[in-house]
Structure 1
């Protein structure tokens, strides 16, 4: 039997590549696995040879020690792979298929799944609705930053690419379908972006860049991206966005007025989340900054898409409230302006097929927008360090050398 190597969270600030067990169609005990999930038989699942698996900003929260993730957790929820083994209950997915895996694990049977709310599936995480691979408090499903991984509920979840050769030619784009492209797109849709909209995106990390590109695809007239890191802002400008350097310009409204002639936008997207910083020189962490600022610059009656991650447990939070996800949000301002807020994980399956078509037709250029950068599995620890330092790259791990060859 083949071996298996994976990226492991070892301790705050450190990941390692280690040997792990080859997957089978049972959820075994291990770091982070919910005891009530141990031993779940997954004859409805498949084993994938991982073709690409990406480093996500959500992974970085765990690696920084900003969650309760246990040592030894196998990381990775952005997975694209080739099916090498099929469970006895799988009918439509076949050995050899090249597929994209939604990061939310969904059974297809519960009320939420039947209503297309696959991000809050009721049957995959004993603690609360919603689950994901390789993520803290999400049921303990083994992550996919590895050579091989087990994926349950294959017939329901997996997005099969229609032509393998074509898919491999576009793999740097298609690998984004497991998370950040649908997540950015969901942020834009949730914010009500439509033809002619003016849009502000807080954060120029990969999700923010994906949200900005998605806003363009939806017909926005102007997309403005704000961030503290100039390298990331340069990447946003590379595909036609306006930008605001929030380290140099703390007043977002004034900067928006210089661009649009008015100090407000139609729509805003929070692609930062709970590790937000205040604006200006020497600013410190202030977790409610983005939420409060986008309420301030979004027009009355506007919508706020919030794909940025917020957590219920943050050991590194700046105070006791922040450590449990309680933030000082100006809800009165949002109420007075009749804002609509949309939060939570992205229901990937709602969008991934359409976005696949946009990629295969050449309409969407998501790999270019997020600066997809392919690395080996052995280089993953260095990729984590570089990404944590603010590099404007979306690191794509290529465990078997299939992309590079």
Structure 2
């Protein structure tokens, strides 16, 4: 069989597309067979902000780390133990790998599966410390526990027509939605979303889908704020030296919201035009502007190993969070990876029945796999786009 082009990490600020081994139904790093898996021809695979953390050198990723955890594809080979997924099926792949058998999976907590990563709970494709599973920014990919993990699209022709939307089911749409649900967003809520990157925009669109009355998006990037405005969000420009509660009050009439979501993570910056990195900023912001007894969704990524951290504490994930304020206000926090399987089927139905245009909200932009290095550079500059890689030229 031919090789397999895949995006790999080279050094801080640099990725390249190179040939790697064609996938097999096994995971060499863990010395395990995957007869329960399938091989996919990748139809769409996206560049994620979490990938950018690695590419910026802000994790312990090694040279040659394969990249890509947002995968949609067509099944071209099935393992001996696969019963229900068939060759030819078009499927969405949750970014978190789960066995379907352990205590966590049976409780619906597929983001912290106990069996797919020998180092700690939870695993993902193409990510540092996530079990050694090969990345999916590639022509072909292997997916284990296929009957459990894969979401089959009911109509292939319809799915191909809506591929720019459906590819968001692998990560950012469920992640944004999980952030909103975790924060208690419901009919009539006032909501603050920190960050207007793809996850923040997906979260804002999810808040609207859930019935929020006002969705406010905060960022320092004018292009991304304009993208949030394009589908009906209010915005606050954090380059200004005004207090965030005051800016919130100008929009909703009081300096607090019902719910707030952190879609930035550990590379957060302070406020003001020339603000430096201050990784606890967003966490402290959302505690300050959420009403008492409110809930905070924190899908933004935080790590335990950051070589580029601003100080020794930040390098190990210890941040200056004002927990006393959170305690005094009786706030609830939800952190961690998103359990994609908890949401992806209903979000698929929302897409297929035209209840949301998630690709439009995040400005989905299709590029060839070979253009991935330029896509990473543009994304790092802050363009208001979600890059979809099209390895085989099949997306309309």
Asked whether the two chains share a fold, i.e. TM above 0.5, the reply is yes
Asked if residue 396 in structure 1 is aligned to residue 367 in structure 2, the reply is no
**Equivalent residue of 2:247, what SS?**
helix
Aligned with 1:133 (options 111, 125, 142): 125
Asked if residue 172 in structure 1 is aligned to residue 161 in structure 2, the reply is no
Query: Structure 2: how far apart are the matches of 1:297 and 1:122?
Result: 36
**Equivalent residue of 2:395, what SS?**
coil
TM superposition shift of 1:383: 0.2
Asked if residue 22 in structure 1 is aligned to residue 14 in structure 2, the reply is no
Asked if residue 83 in structure 1 is aligned to residue 75 in structure 2, the reply is yes
| Greater shift in the superposed pair: 323-332 or 1-10 | 1-10
Query: Structure 2: how far apart are the matches of 1:403 and 1:100?
Result: 15
Aligned with 1:95 (options 87, 91, 116): 87
Equivalent in the alignment of 1:232: 224
Query: Structure 1: how far apart are the matches of 2:297 and 2:158?
Result: 33
Residue correspondence of structure 1 range 19-168 to structure 2 within 5 A: 19-29=19-29, 37=30, 39-168=31-160
Query: Structure 2: how far apart are the matches of 1:213 and 1:286?
Result: 27
Asked if residue 368 in structure 1 is aligned to residue 354 in structure 2, the reply is no
Aligned with 2:273 (options 260, 281, 302): 281
Equivalent in the alignment of 2:262: 270
Query: Structure 1: how far apart are the matches of 2:224 and 2:243?
Result: 19
**Equivalent residue of 1:379, what SS?**
helix
Asked if residue 358 in structure 1 is aligned to residue 329 in structure 2, the reply is no
Q: CA RMSD in A?
A: 0.6
TM superposition shift of 1:281: 1.8
Query: Structure 1: how far apart are the matches of 2:274 and 2:225?
Result: 19
Q: Deviations over 1:260-296 (max 9, x none)?
A: 1111100000000000000012100000000001100
Query: Structure 2: how far apart are the matches of 1:260 and 1:215?
Result: 16
Q: Deviations over 1:317-357 (max 9, x none)?
A: 00000000000000000000000000000000000000000
Q: Structure 1 segments of 4 or more deviating over 6 A?
A: none
Q: Which runs of 5+ in 1 are unaligned?
A: 30-36
Q: Deviations over 1:191-234 (max 9, x none)?
A: 00010000000000000000000000000000000000000000
Q: Deviations over 1:72-104 (max 9, x none)?
A: 011000000000000000000000000000000
Does the Cα contact within 8 Å between 1:249 and 1:255 map onto a contact in 2?
A: no
Equivalent in the alignment of 1:4: 4
Task: Please report the TM-score for the alignment, with normalisation by the length of structure 1.
Answer: 0.97
TM superposition shift of 1:251: 1.3
TM superposition shift of 1:28: 2.2
Q: Which runs of 5+ in 2 are unaligned?
A: none
Query: Structure 1: how far apart are the matches of 2:273 and 2:243?
Result: 12
TM superposition shift of 1:42: 0.1
Aligned with 1:244 (options 228, 236, 246): 236
Equivalent in the alignment of 1:33: none
Equivalent in the alignment of 2:188: 196
Does the Cα contact within 8 Å between 1:184 and 1:211 map onto a contact in 2?
A: yes
Number of equivalent positions: 396
Equivalent in the alignment of 2:197: 205
TM superposition shift of 1:249: 4.1
Query: Structure 2: how far apart are the matches of 1:12 and 1:3?
Result: 26
